[in-house]
Every structure is written in structure tokens, then in C-alpha cells.
Amino acid sequence: MGRIFLTSDTHFGHDREFLYGPRGFSSIQEHDEAVIRNWNSVVQPDDTVYHLGDVMLNDNDHGMDCLKQLNGNIYIIPGNHDTKNRLELYKTLPNVKVLESNFPDTVAAGIYFKYRKYLFYMSHHPTMTSNLEKDPYLKAHLINLFGHTHQQKQFYNDIPFMFHVGMDSNNCTPVLLDDAIEIMREEMKKCIDMLDIEETLANVAEEVREGGEVCPTQSNIWTTIARRVKSLFSKT
């Protein structure tokens, strides 16, 4: 049993500057070649890769030619661009499996997955699965690994248990699950520390006083800080 990697939104063949430009390429050909090269530079044939959707767009022959070149046992959780027809094509490759639904006229959206002491929910779309106030430890949360947003940041709205595995925030390379866990643990620590920093509280207090926007990202961390500041105010 090899190692576990995650990725999403390879978008092979998606000939649009807004896709390959922000990823640092000047053409889709350059993009697709780099994605394949990067993938195979880290993934060995006996490794497992969970691909959280949107494998390819436009020309299916080209997309399949790219998919065929990728190392590893690949498990695909469908994204919005993975049509029924494409899902059938993916399944023709011996090292590729596709998450399926047994319900009529539906597509399976995600899976629960236990690894080490952590519980994950893997899905193409970001999904709110927990709240930060619950516990300061990563293992206390249902961790969402997601794609779809094409964001440059690894976290969804700064939430330390919602990790973007997509190409855009991971140098167009699949992420090792163990590395993602370490990054999330560090971020969780930072968030918890932030809750205790008086300076942070004072800054947010200033915002509250001036009627500014307290929760710019709508993330739990800011909501929590704002709530604490308000409670401090109500005591004085």
C-alpha cells in the first residue's frame, strides 16, 4: 500500500487564459504537460490519489490521453464538469475508479474517510462540516477536503478544517495527505492562538467601535473574535 495523495480540477484541455494564466502558464498545452509531469514526479504507481473532480473539459480524447499518463490508483469523486459520458470514459482505465450513486438519476457527491486519527469528508464542492468553537484540536472536527473554487489560498475563508486540494493552491501538484494534515494542524494552532491575543481583540474592538465590517470572511474565527469583543464591551 503506497501513500495517499489528493488533488482536483486538473481541467485538462480547458483552453481558457483565466484557467491556465493564474496557474503560471501561457497555454493549455504547457499547462497540461506540466500537470502530468508534476503528478508523476510525486506519485508512484502503487500510490493512491483521490481526484476531487473536474478532470477534463472540451475534447474528451485529449483529456483521456492526459488521464492515461498519470501514475497511481486514481479514485475520482465527480465534479460539475464530469458528465455521465466522461465518468464512463474514466472507468475504462484499469487504474481509475469513479464514485457512484445507487440512487436513480443522481451523482454521488462525497465520501467519508478515516485516516490515522482524523475523519475526512471529501467532496468536489466546499462543505461546512464543523465549527471552530467545538474544539481546538483538528482531530475533533470532520475535515473537509474540497476542490471547485480554484482559489489560491489553501483554506476556505480561513477555516482550518476546510482544505483546498485543487491545482491552483498546490503548485499544480497532488498534495500528500500527511502534508495536508500538518498544514491544517499548524493553521488550527494559529487560529486558537489568535483567539488569545489581546492585540487582535483590540483591533477588532476598534472595528466594532467604528461600525466597520467585523466578519469580512464570514469565517468562524472572526465570528468568535467578534463575539468575545462584544462580551468584553458588555462587561465594561
Alpha-carbon torsion (66, 72, 78, 79), positive or negative: negative
Site residues (CB under 5 A) for Fe ion, limited to 33-72: 54
**Positions in 148-207 near Fe ion (CB under 5 A):** 148
The CA–CA distances, whole Å, from 174 to 8, 84, 189, 229 equal 8, 24, 24, 40
Q: Which of 80, 131, 152, 171 binds Fe ion (CB under 5 A)?
A: 80
Q: Which is nearer to Fe ion, 63 or 79 (CB)?
A: 79
Between 90 and 118, CB nearer to Fe ion? 90
Q: In the complex, what is the shortest distance from the CB of residue 147 to Fe ion, in angstroms, rounded to a whole number?
A: 6
Q: How many residues bind Fe ion (CB under 5 A)?
A: 4
Identify the CA nearest to 60 among candidates 13, 9, 120.
13
Q: Which of 13, 63, 79, 174 binds Fe ion (CB under 5 A)?
A: 79
Cell of 4: 495517499
Given the complex with Fe ion, which of 80 and 171 has the nearer CB atom? 80
In whole angstroms, the minimum distance from the beta carbon of 80 to Fe ion comes to 5
Enumerate residues 96-155 that contact Fe ion by CB under 5 A.
148
Contact residues for 207 (Cβ-Cβ < 8 A; gap 6+): 213, 214
Piece of the chain touching Fe ion by CB under 5 A; list 24-32, 41-49, 80-88, 94-102: 80-88
Nearest approach, Cβ of 54 to Fe ion (angstroms)? 4
Q: Which residues contact 67 (CB under 8 A, 6 or more apart)?
A: 12, 55, 56, 74, 90, 93, 96
Choose between 110 and 220: whose C-beta lies nearer to Fe ion.
110
Site residues (CB under 5 A) for Fe ion? 54, 79-80, 148
